[in-house]
Amino acid sequence: MFDRLLSPTAIGSMELRNRIVQAPMGVEMVAGDGLANEPIIAYYEARARGGVGLVITETCAMDYPNGANSRHQLGMSSDDFIPSMRELTDRVHRHGAKIAVQLAHHGKVSRVDRAEGRDILVPSITEWHGSYSMIADLTQEELGWMAAVNGDGGGKPREMTTDDILETTDKWAEAARRARDAGFDGVEIHASHGYLISAFLSKQWNTRTDDYGGSVEERSRFLVEVIEACRARVDDAIPIWCRLDAIEYLTPEGIVFDDTRVTARLAQEAGAAAIHLSAYGDSTSASAFTLGTLPHTEAKHRHLSAQLKTDLDIPVIGVGRVKPEVGEQMLAEGEADLIAMGRQLLADADTVAKLTEGRPADIRPCINCYVCVASPFFDRRVHCAVNPALGNETELGDADRTRAETPKRVVVVGGGPAGMEAARVAASRGHTVTLFESSAQLGGALRFAALVYEPNRKLLDWLTGQMTRLGIDVRTNTPATPAAIGALAPDEVIVAIGGARERSTIPGADLKHVVDGDDLRKVLTGSGDGDATKVPLAGRLAARAGRTLGLTADADRLAKLTKLYMPLGDDVVIIGGGLVGIEIAEFLVDRDRNVTVLDPGPTLAPEMAHPRRWRVLTDLRDHGASLVTGAEVTSIDSAAVRYRLGDERTKEAAPADSVIIATGLVANPALDRWRSVAGIETVIVGDAPGISYLEGAMHTGFRAGLDVG
């Protein structure tokens, strides 16, 4: 199925065992000195062992700390960096992968220069009127973190002189020479994402009138000279290539694809061995990040890499939410020569090995939640919602595949994500696991989350698939009574009974057209404890018909079914704009409902990683949803939800045929009687002690599975 992805190839003189590339990703693991340390080496080694053909490191500041974006990134500005880099390349090579370093100067985004009072090198001092729409949807806490990392130590932008350009080019070449000496197999010159070279490529940032500004050929000159200088300095012993932006989104004078085609041809003529095609956009907007650099849409730029391929003789590396099946297709259709994957390799370091071994269903899927990339915005170590080992490979890298010394009998109570993850890890380590689920289906809160946000379905499928693959004794429709648990004589009991929902006290909440998340879940998925009588008879009948036909067992088919019929009116008001309310809003807007979200707080969906929040809220507004913050709901009547707004407490009303109450998620009040069962002190995971969403479920479940022993 993945013959092309797994077939060998080459970039220049560098031969690769397959066509899957680990995309460069800043993970903020370096201690603050730019040196490759054990945590970051273990992180890269895990992906090499996991089968990728080529690892490209995160941005490595070639003149560190000058031009650096973070003190926690790699550096290559003197020979002192070579020994630790040699350790990194040796460890990656041990597993048959090749490794390239991504050498960067961050130009206008050199946060370290700003903080430490140095000049910030830019092609030109230009006026910029960004949209700054990103600010409105950040929490106060995030704004504080942002201010701290952008700390102003007096560094100011300075237009580069010709001497600066020549000196920087020479430093780039020296860094490439060090890369060769440290055992790197290639060098990727970072010429994208708004950093120094890409600023030269963009008319928005480069208004120079000398040889380095003007036409696209002139704007490309700096890149061409850097490529030539690096090639000469490494004696062509290793290939040099570059990463370019196909498009600079939402930037009036930004890079357009026609320019990129010219730049790519010039880079090829200068001896670049490949082009890695990424994208970028206005960094002050709430929207550009998920259009360009980390696209929300799957394989968003495949048509552009396809076009570029027709221009060039050198390999093109495609990137941007490319799943293995799509990557295989892109290769088959000549749309790219290699496929870079970023987040999927964070979510599962063994993705490629699992493809090679013919078990793609075992790949832990990335759910496009943007948690990983949210941390580096604030100079914090990367972490992943679904892969607790990310960023902690030294301790946890092998943990869920290492057999326990003493196999034990384990009972897990509850088949939501936390329970399933605990069961998975315990069973992977050789324990005998029985899982009780009182409803008919596994999934818990994830089943509803999977209905409203498609990527979550992959996680649900993966977790349920692992239950079968690992031979876990799953007992659905089975309440976990002390007697039933005691009969299994377990050594460990893990309790994952989920959170609870408090009934709303808003006057009118008991009206027929008002449902809470549990009611909706019950009707749509056939599970949960909601009051199904709250949903109109037609809705209940449709849900029952769906269940009888087996439709509601499958979130994918159910999502399609709800496009045809939903037991909700046209005007829907959602009370509560947290993660759950906003995901429901997204789901309903996609089903042509007029949606109003009312939330008392200042920021919507604060629990979402901010890049995803930016994307969802932008999409909702673009689709005409009314998103109201600072709204205190006072009552619900048969046609409207009434609320007060602002300091003046203006009285407002939002028309409503249906009302969904998406608040009131709380710790499970039944928890106390689960602290000890059948004479065993239990371990409690997931939402039961306090709502922690998917990330909390996966992390606490993983840890509990591991702690069994």
Ligand X SMILES: Cc1cc2nc3c(=O)[nH]c(=O)nc-3n(C[C@H](O)[C@H](O)[C@H](O)COP(=O)(O)O)c2cc1C
Where along the sequence are the contacts to ligand SF4 (CB under 6 A)? 343, 346-347, 366-372, 384-387
Distance of CA 582 to the CA centre of its chain: 18
18 contact, one of ligand SF4, ligand X, none, CB 5-8 Å limit per kind: none
Q: Which does 24 bind (CB under 5 to 8 A by kind): ligand X, ligand SF4, none?
A: ligand X
233 or 343: whose CB is closer to ligand X? 343
The CA-based diameter of the chain, rounded to the nearest angstrom, is 83
Closest CA to 390 of 346, 342, 424, 354: 346
- CB of 116 closer than 8 Å to CB of 153: yes
CB of 294 to ligand X, least distance (A): 5
Say whether 699 sits in a helix, a strand or coil.
Answer: helix
Residue nearest to ligand X (CB): 342
3-class SS at 677? Answer: strand
* For ligand X, the closer CB: 50 or 342: 342
Under 8 Å between Cβ of 69 and 59: yes
> What are the CB-based long-range contacts (under 8 Å, 24+) for 676-682?
677/413, 677/480, 677/482, 677/485, 677/486, 677/493, 677/495, 678/482, 678/485, 678/486, 678/490, 678/493, 679/486, 680/490, 680/491, 680/492, 680/493, 682/413, 682/493, 682/494, 682/495
Nearer to ligand SF4, 9 or 392 (CB): 392
Contact between residue 561 and residue 539 where contact means Cβ atoms under 8 Å apart: no
Least Å distance, CB 426 to ligand X, is 29
> Is 343 or 501 the residue whose CB approaches ligand X more closely?
343
Task: Respond yes or no on whether the N-terminal peptide bond of residue 239 is cis (omega within 30° of 0).
Answer: no
Q: Are 513 and 658 in contact (CB under 8 A)?
A: yes
Among residues 38, 89, 438, 64, which one has the least CA distance to residue 238?
89
Q: Work out how close the CB of 23 gets to ligand SF4 at its nearest, in angstroms, rounded to a whole number.
A: 11
| Distance in Å, CB of 424 to ligand SF4, minimum | 16
Q: Smallest distance, Å, CB 43 to ligand SF4?
A: 13
59 versus 596: smaller Cβ distance to ligand X: 59
Q: Choose from ligand X, ligand SF4, none: what does 371 bind? Cβ within 5-8 Å by kind.
A: ligand SF4
Distance of closest approach, residue 367 Cβ to ligand X, in angstroms: 12
For binding to ligand X (CB under 6 A), which residues are involved?
A: 23-26, 58-59, 102, 190, 193, 243, 278, 293-294, 319-321, 341-344, 372-373, 376, 382
Give CA separation, 707 vs 184, 494, 559, in Å. Answer: 38, 10, 37
Q: Pick between residue 59 and residue 387 the one whose CB is nearest to ligand SF4.
A: 387
User: 127: which residues sit within 8 A by CB, 6+ positions away?
Assistant: none
**CA 320 – CA 301 distance, rounded (Å):** 7
Q: Tell me the CA distances in angstroms from 479 to 76, 307, 415, 432, 525, one per residue in order.
A: 59, 57, 11, 19, 19
- In DSSP terms, 650 is beta-bridged to 645
> Who contacts 614 (Cβ-Cβ below 8 Å, separation ≥6)?
134, 137, 286, 287, 289, 290
CB 24 to ligand X: min, Å: 4
Q: Is 672 helix (H, G, I), strand (E, B) or coil?
A: helix
Q: How far is the CB of 58 from ligand X (least distance, A)?
A: 4
Shortest Cβ 368–ligand X spacing (Å): 8
The residue (of 377 and 565) whose beta carbon lies closer to ligand X is 377
Q: Which amino acid is at 397?
A: G
Rounding to the nearest 10 degrees, give the CA dihedral for residues 316, 268, 258, 215. Answer: 150
User: Of ligand SF4, ligand X, none, which one does residue 428 interact with (CB within 5 to 8 Å by kind)?
Assistant: none
Provide φ and ψ at 242, rounded to 5°.
-140, 155
- Nearest approach, Cβ of residue 365 and ligand X (Å): 12
217 burial level (CB within 10 Å; 0-12, 13-18, 19+): middle
Burial class (CB in 10 A: 0-12, 13-18, 19+), 280: buried
Kindly tell me which of 105 and 243 has the beta carbon lying closer to ligand X: 243
Nearer to ligand SF4, 213 or 295 (CB): 295
Q: Which does 319 bind (CB under 5 to 8 A by kind): ligand SF4, ligand X, none?
A: ligand X
By beta-carbon proximity to ligand SF4, the closer residue of 255 and 449 is 449
* Closer residue to ligand SF4, CB minimum distance, 315 or 443: 443
In the complex, least distance from residue 62 CB atom to ligand X, rounded to whole angstroms: 13
Q: Which is nearer to ligand SF4, 34 or 324 (CB)?
A: 324
Residue 384 contact partner, candidates ligand X, ligand SF4, none, CB within 5 to 8 A by sort of partner: ligand SF4
Contacts of 207 (CB under 8 A, 6+ apart): 123, 124, 126, 213
List the structure tokens of 586: 């997204």
Give which of ligand SF4, ligand X, none residue 612 binds (C-beta under 5 to 8 Å, depending on kind): none
Report, in Å, the least distance between residue 378 CB and ligand SF4.
15
How far does CA 181 lie from the centroid of its chain?
A: 34
Residue 367 interacts with which of ligand SF4, ligand X, none, CB < 5 to 8 Å by class:
ligand SF4
For the CB of residue 242, give the shortest distance to ligand SF4 in the complex, in Å: 25
Among ligand X, ligand SF4, none, partner that 369 touches (CB below 5 to 8 angstroms by kind): ligand SF4
Tokens (6 digits) for 207: 């208004």
Residue 376 binds: one of ligand SF4, ligand X, none (C-beta under 5 to 8 A by kind): ligand X
Residue whose CB is less far from ligand X, 100 or 660: 100
Q: Minimum CB separation from ligand SF4 for residue 129, in Å?
A: 31
> Which among ligand SF4, ligand X, none contacts residue 694 (Cβ within 5 to 8 A by kind)?
none
For ligand X, which is the closer residue by CB, 155 or 295? Answer: 295
Partner whose binding site includes residue 278, from ligand SF4, ligand X, none (CB under 5 to 8 Å by kind):
ligand X
Class of residue 623 by CB neighbours under 10 A (exposed 0-12, middle 13-18, buried 19+): middle
Q: Both tokens of residue 244?
A: 């370019």
Picked from ligand X, ligand SF4, none, the partner binding residue 291 (CB below 5 to 8 A depending on kind) is none
Residue number with CB closer to ligand SF4 (196 or 371):
371
CA distance 414 to 498: 8
Compute the radius of gyration of the chain from its Cα atoms: 27
CB of 136 to ligand X, least distance (A): 23
Question: With CB cut-offs between 5 and 8 Å by kind, which of ligand SF4, ligand X, none does residue 25 bind?
Answer: ligand X
Cβ neighbours of residue 514 closer than 8 Å, sequence gap 6 or more: 508, 534, 636, 658, 659, 660, 661
Nearest of 229, 188, 242 to residue 58 by alpha carbon? 188
Pick one of ligand SF4, ligand X, none as the site partner of residue 48 (Cβ within 5 to 8 A by kind).
none
